[in-house]
């Protein structure tokens, strides 16, 4: 498949040789006018793009104090330079987080600081030219907004905020990215990223009910649009469509069934993902989040549970209340919102699930922390719950679990290489190369400790790994859903024994 | 990336998915498949025809699981699995088979 060189996996991770401009050519397809206009953005690059861009940049700086602080705070210490998976996988110095930030920072200095206005050559200030705009389009679509660099920055500068701001500016002058903007249009029009209409969703869920009954002998329901249910499940639409995602969805259904909790999916808000975060659009993020609030109110649910989706959990946990709150109509005795892992972990702790670990004995598992869960949210009621809870679930369902190297997991986790709105075929070279650090850590535990499978709780991570792992010598089904492991291990009441 | 076909031009997007699905014909499918280095066999057609039927009813391509189940019914368990479907369509049955079937590319986290 690859018409580029797949990076090697070395015994000891190393910083790559610098190759100036190595990824200069990488850029996603441009959004078509209809994708742009559906979101209220200009269809194509506007005549006065320069002035419009600076105007928007100013608006964002006025709105976001953090961004303004990040612009001024960097002291060029270099701590971030070797922390980005895209830098490690490509060797392109512009993929060093500080260099990526400087693409925006140099324009900030030129137009928004006195020194840059009068003495630009002294302070690294530069005009916004067509060439600079082109670089923005290329390199701000080589950041998955995973925020690993910010963990190592002594000032906590968050490069994701730069990427979001740059993409927002570009959308407003008519230079949007096809993948994200087309998908956001589908959410508004059809209700989910996939464009899966309600009858197709109903057909899919019925098919899964048949499959579960055939496998277990137990009638487990996957209800759609059932008013009065206790729980509304919002999950990435990939869970209805792709492998291994759908095996995770089956796992959620079995857990709800065994817990005896009534639940439903909404055909109106059949999507947990909120790609508006990736393009930095507050307005869009709010619109997408409000769909979920509306569905919850209309269905009269008491709880909202979020399925295995990394950035959706960040949006839900960190932003929902501001975007679409207050959620005071939900039952305050439960977390608002609740992650499916919290839901399952609670049942495990209370001894309410019978789990046969031997059902997963054919695998030795490791866990890939997804960046938006690891660094953008939490789970449970103790710090670090987002790391402990998924691992506790896996260990309750599996006999064989091994963690990858400490500097590649938990808050130091490496992005899968496809996050932040980059999970598109037109960025395949970037995706394959950006997966190198994670693949290296996986190979280490595969070789030394016999790890056969990696579990994750993010639809993007799962699709990305299924696609790129074969490039590194792993099977495409070596990536599994955490609730797929639960599904394998859970023993339902009345389940037939094989 | 339009297709020149029978003296007419069929418009397609950057990746070769045709824009107007009503212009699809079997001959065009053969042409798209050749561009993907796929020689269409009876098994390929079985998949493509199922995708088109499903699309006609539901306005979307079926989930991989639905596809494998359907193929299992018509062609037997040795072919009704995703491994075999990937042998037929190495770039992935959902995307590559959709392109050949003239259907829009499925989007999202897939």
| pLDDT tens-digit series, residues B81-109 | 988 999 999 998 889 999 999 999 999 99
Distance from CA of B2 to the nearest CA of A (A): 16
Distance from CA of A179 to the nearest CA of B (A): 8
Last residue of a domain, one of A124, A145, A176: A176
Task: Indicate if A145 and A214 belong to the same structural domain.
Answer: no
Predicted pLDDT at A14:
85
Among A197, A236, A242, select the one facing B64 at the smallest CB separation.
A242
Closest CA to A312 of A153, A187, A142: A187
Task: Indicate if A252 and A304 belong to the same structural domain.
Answer: yes
The region that residue B47 occupies, defined by phi over 0 for left and psi between -120 and 50 for alpha, beta otherwise, is alpha
Q: A338-339 and A303-306 as β-strands: parallel, antiparallel, unpaired?
A: parallel
Residue A426, in any domain of the structure: no
Put simply, the answer to whether B60 touches A200 (Cβ < 8 Å) is yes
Q: What's the predicted TM-score (pTM) here?
A: 0.97
Residue B75, in any domain of the structure: yes
Q: What's the pLDDT tens digit per position in A345-362? A: 999 999 999 999 999 999
Q: Which domain holds residue A46?
A: 33-176
Enter the tokens of residue A167. Answer: 């993409």
Task: Indicate if A133 and A188 belong to the same structural domain.
Answer: no
Task: Indicate if A230 and A169 belong to the same structural domain.
Answer: no
- The yes-or-no answer on residue B109 being catalytic is yes
Under a CB-based contact definition with an 8 Å cutoff, are residues A416 and A327 in contact?
A: no
Residue B47, in any domain of the structure: yes
Per the DSSP assignment, residues forming a β-bridge with B8 are B5
Cβ-based contacts of A312 with chain B (< 8 Å):
none
Residue B107, in any domain of the structure: no
Put simply, the answer to whether A194 touches B60 (Cβ < 8 Å) is yes
CATH code at B44? 1.10.10.370
> How many structural domains are present in chain B?
1
Distance from CA of B16 to the nearest CA of A (A): 12
**A1 close contact with B: CB closer than 8 A:** yes
Three-state SS letters, A411-428:
HHCCCCCCCCCCCCHHHH
Task: Indicate if A123 and A227 belong to the same structural domain.
Answer: no
- Residues composing chain B: 110
Among B14, B66, B104, select the one facing A29 at the smallest CB separation.
B14
Residue B37, in any domain of the structure: yes
Residue segments in chain A with a per-residue pLDDT below the cut of 70: 1-2, 498
Task: Indicate if A204 and A95 belong to the same structural domain.
Answer: no
Last residue of a domain, one of A114, A146, A176: A176
Cβ-based contacts of B70 with chain A (< 8 Å):
none
Nearest-angstrom CA–CA distance, A102 and A100: 5
Put simply, the answer to whether B91 touches A463 (Cβ < 8 Å) is no
Task: Indicate if A466 and A383 belong to the same structural domain.
Answer: yes
> How many structural domains are present in chain A?
2
Predicted pLDDT at A173:
98
Calculate the CA A190 to chain-centre distance.
21
Task: Indicate if A226 and A150 belong to the same structural domain.
Answer: no
Predicted pLDDT at A498:
62
Closest CA to A148 of A434, A342, A392: A434
**A345 close contact with B: CB closer than 8 A:** no
Predicted pLDDT at A58:
98
Q: Summarize the confidence of residues B45-59 as an average pLDDT.
A: 96
**A183 close contact with B: CB closer than 8 A:** yes
Residue A443, in any domain of the structure: no
Predicted pLDDT at A2:
55
Residue A307, in any domain of the structure: yes
């Amino acid at each position: 498949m690859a018409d580029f060189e797949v990076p090697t996996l070395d015994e000891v991770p190393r910083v790559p040789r610098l190759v100036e401009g190595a990824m200069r050519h990488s850029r996603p397809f441009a959004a078509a006018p209809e994708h742009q206009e559906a979101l209220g953005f200009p269809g194509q690059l506007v005549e006065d793009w320069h002035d419009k861009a600076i105007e928007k940049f100013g608006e964002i700086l006025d709105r976001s104090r953090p961004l303004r602080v990040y612009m001024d705070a960097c002291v060029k210490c270099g701590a971030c330079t070797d922390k980005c998976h895209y830098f490690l996988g490509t060797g392109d110095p512009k993929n060093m987080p500080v260099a990526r930030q400087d693409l925006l920072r140099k324009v900030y200095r030129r137009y928004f600081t006195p020194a840059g206005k009068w003495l630009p050559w002294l302070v690294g200030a530069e005009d916004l030219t067509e060439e600079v705009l082109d670089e923005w389009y290329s390199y701000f679509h080589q950041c998955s907004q995973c925020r690993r660099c910010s963990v190592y920055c002594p000032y906590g500068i968050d490069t994701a905020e730069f990427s979001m701001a740059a993409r927002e500016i570009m959308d407003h002058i008519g230079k949007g990215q096809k993948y994200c903007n087309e998908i956001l249009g589908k959410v508004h029009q059809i209700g989910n990223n996939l464009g899966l209409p309600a009858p197709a969703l109903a057909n899919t869920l019925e098919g899964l009910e048949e499959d579960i009954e055939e496998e277990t002998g137990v009638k487990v329901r996957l209800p759609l649009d059932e008013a009065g249910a206790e729980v509304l499940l919002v999950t990435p639409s990939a869970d209805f469509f792709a492998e291994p995602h759908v095996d995770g969805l089956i796992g959620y259904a079995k857990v709800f069934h065994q817990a005896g909790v009534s639940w439903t999916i909404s055909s109106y808000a059949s999507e947990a993902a909120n790609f508006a975060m990736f393009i930095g659009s507050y307005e869009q993020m709010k619109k997408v989040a409000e769909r979920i609030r509306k569905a919850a109110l209309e269905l009269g649910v008491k709880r909202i549970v979020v399925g295995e989706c990394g950035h959706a959990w960040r949006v839900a946990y960190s932003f929902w209340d501001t975007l679409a709150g207050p959620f005071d109509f939900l039952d305050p005795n439960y977390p608002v919102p609740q992650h499916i892992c919290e839901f399952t972990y609670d049942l495990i702790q209370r001894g309410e699930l019978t789990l046969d670990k031997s059902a997963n004995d054919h695998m030795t598992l490791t866990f890939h922390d997804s960046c938006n869960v690891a660094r953008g949210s939490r789970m449970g009621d103790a710090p670090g719950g987002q790391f402990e809870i998924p691992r506790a679930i896996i260990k309750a369902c599996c006999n064989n679990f091994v963690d990858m190297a400490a500097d590649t997991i938990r808050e130091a986790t490496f992005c899968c290489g496809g996050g932040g709105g980059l999970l598109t075929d037109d960025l395949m070279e970037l995706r394959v190369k950006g997966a190198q650090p994670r693949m290296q850590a996986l190979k280490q535990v595969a070789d030394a400790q016999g790890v056969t499978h990696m579990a994750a709780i993010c639809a993007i991570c799962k699709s990305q790994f299924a696609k790129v792992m074969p490039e590194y010598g792993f099977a495409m089904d070596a990536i599994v859903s955490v609730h797929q492991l639960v599904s394998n291990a859970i023993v339902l009441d009345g389940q037939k024994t094989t | 990336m339009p297709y020149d076909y029978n003296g007419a031009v069929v418009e397609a997007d950057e990746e070769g998915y045709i824009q107007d699905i009503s212009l699809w014909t079997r001959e065009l499918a053969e042409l798209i498949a050749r561009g993907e280095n796929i020689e269409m066999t009876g098994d390929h057609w079985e998949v493509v025809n199922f995708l088109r039927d499903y699309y006609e009813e539901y306005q979307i391509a079926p989930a991989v699981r639905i596809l494998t189940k359907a193929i299992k019914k018509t062609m037997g368990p040795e072919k009704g699995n995703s491994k075999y479907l990937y042998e037929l369509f190495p770039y992935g049955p959902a995307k590559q088979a959709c392109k050949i079937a003239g259907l829009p590319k499925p989007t999202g986290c897939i």
